[in-house]
Amino acid sequence: MAEPVGQAIVYDVSRPRGFFGLSEEHFSRIHRKINLAPLYRVFSQARRHHAKTVVIEELADSIELFEENEDLKKLDCWHTKHRVRKVSFFKTSFSDTAAIDSLPPESFIGFAIWKEDFGTTPSSACARVYEAVIPPPNERYLHVRGEPTWKCRVLGRVFEVKGYPFYQQNGVTNVCAHAAVRTLASCYPNGPDTTYREMNVSLGLEDPDFRIIRGLDARQIETLVRKAGALCNRTDYCQQPRRPEVPYQRCVYGSIESGFPAIIIFGKDDSAKKKKTRGKKKAAGKNEDYLHAITVFGHTFNPDMWVPRVEAARFDLGKTTGYIPSDFWLGSFLGHDDTLGSHYTIPRHYMRSMQPARNDHPSVKATEGVAHVICSQPWMTKLTSVGAEAIALGWINEIFEEHHAVIPEPWGRRLHKQQSNRQLVLRSIFIEKSDYITHITGMRGWDSDKEVMDAGAIKQIDADIKKDCFWMIEVSLQELFPTNRRKLGEVLVDPGYRNEEFSREMFSQSKIAARLPGAWISPGGSILEIPITSHSALLGCLDGISEEYPKEHPAGSLQA
């Protein structure tokens, strides 16, 4: 944590004052070309959390800040000095710094670190949100998982805040790709303390004469994500003539639904810049032109989505096998754009793929659009969510061929009918065994008084599951999933096999267990009768009311 210096300022932003006065008094006296949009966005997010008081502290240089300043001086002779301030937000009104010790912990909203770099002329000034953590809006339609917990010291007292950190590039020693990677890496073991200099050194970009003007390419971004301790699944949507099998929205959703962020790299319309730089030598060698990287980590859910009902093509796995992916009810992605700010929603079909996937809509090639997606997963998760759903669907088909009679009426019949018509809804979530046991322990059927999991069934299920973590594929119906947010069971799949290793033997070995109405089914065919014979709540929901089961990641520490 960077240490504060000098006298702190306590500023009242409650009505009738607000953040406009704060901005004009403390953050607008810099060059007019400075992009203040990300800072103003942070202020708006704090207001949405009912901020009433702001504390502004001057910060001394931490090791990371010292490294950046040193690198800036090497690369830009104009850099002469800098100023760093931390802005902390509280829900409680107070005017005296001594009041900080009596505040309830939940009054703390979050913080932003604002860094200004000054040069020999006013026009050479640079200012940005160096880093910020504000929780996402507390809205029922927003689904965000896996937010790391951060510690922030304000006036000597340490507070905690959960959220995905936001970073803004300086355009010299780091670019949008660095900012996107730092957000993604924040929930992986090696990510929270990685500095920009360490990123550049790992890519061989530590030459003091090197300027990262053109950004990083997809391979370099993938390298940084792996160094953070994550497994990467990169899909390219700009290659000819090969067409990816899966739309980029499905790839991204498969990661973020389990609490693992993804990076979307897309084309920007920089025709003016293109004319200015035509014929000039590239600064970064192999880097791709005019692409921008953003990190997404959540999504909105629309139970009234029109798409699932009219989409002509389900996600087909063959002429007779298919299902409805749960991402059909995804309205928008939630993520950070370092040029605009934090927690913006990006409509699902706003960006098209440069090279559409086989099951994509629309299927027309776009000159501007998504070029690459980089989805992250833990190292033990070799199998993608799409691969896990394919295995789950295959096993469901086998169960109805071999054990149809053990699934009681009427839900067994209803499930079988939708399975035969390729109308099952599948939702995959990577989960630890302990969390799954907790989930089914509190599970209730539609008749909540009678359909309750008993201790004997829980004990047997615990003994049957030999893996510490796995893919849980929830099985539901179109009429059940969006409105009731309920399901008819789960299929548990071993994540240790890669998609390309798929074979009949792997299919058999990857099956852990399945729960369907009235039955717990093991791969060997043994069946345990269970009391829940109807539908139950999806993971993270209780009778249609959101009740998060957050996936905890190792706590980190920012510059606060």
Task: Tell me: pLDDT of 544 over 70.
Answer: no
- Taking only the tens place, the pLDDT of each residue in 86-129 is 999 999 999 999 999 999 999 999 999 999 988 766 666 788 99
Mean pLDDT of 507-520: 92
Round to whole Å and give the CA distance between 317 and 76.
54
Binned at pLDDT 50, 70 and 90, residue 441 comes out as very high
What's the confidence (pLDDT) of residue 122?
65
> What is the torsion angle, in degrees rounded to the nearest 10, for the CA atoms of residue 192, residue 196, residue 200 and residue 205?
180
Higher pLDDT, 502 or 429: 429
Cα 104 → chain centroid: 29
Other CB atoms closer than 10 Å to residue 428's CB: what's the count? Answer: 27
What pLDDT is recorded for position 559?
Answer: 36
For 443-465, what is the mean pLDDT?
A: 93
What's the chain's length in residues? 560
What does the pLDDT read at residue 502?
60
Least confident of 175-179, 250-254, 366-370: 366-370
Fill in the DSSP letter of residue 403: S
Write down the pTM of the prediction: 0.88
| Per-residue pLDDT at 81 | 84
According to DSSP, the residues that pair with 491 across neighbouring strands are 473, 514
pLDDT-based confidence at residue 277 (cuts at 50, 70, 90): very low
Across 475-496, average pLDDT:
93
What is the average pLDDT score of the chain? 85
pLDDT tens-digit series, residues 120-167: 666 667 889 999 999 998 888 899 999 999 999 999 999 999 999 999
pLDDT at 501: 61
Angle between helices 19-26 and 37-48 (to 10 degrees): 150
Q: Is the confidence at residue 281, as pLDDT, over 50?
A: no
Which pLDDT value is given to residue 489?
97
* Segments of 307-414 assigned E as strands: 315-316, 322-325, 330-337, 341-347, 370-377
Percent of the chain scored above 70 by pLDDT? 82
pLDDT of residue 282: 42
Q: Above 70 in pLDDT, residue 214?
A: no
pLDDT the model gives residue 94: 96
- Cis bond upstream, residue 378 (ω within 30): no
- Mean pLDDT over residues 472-497, rounded? 93
Which of 182, 181, 192 is CA-nearest to residue 151? 192
Residue scoring higher pLDDT (341 or 284):
341
Q: Tell me if the bond preceding 517 is cis, omega within 30° of 0.
A: no
- Quote the pLDDT of residue 270: 45
Q: How confident is the model at residue 361 (pLDDT cuts 50, 70, 90)?
A: low
* Least confidently predicted of 270-279, 306-315, 424-433, 548-557: 548-557
Alpha helices in 431-470 (DSSP H): 433-441, 455-464
Longest dimension (CA), the chain: 81
Instruction: Give the start-to-end residue ranges of the domains of the chain.
Output: 1-163, 385-546
- Residue 545 — pLDDT band, cuts 50, 70, 90? very low
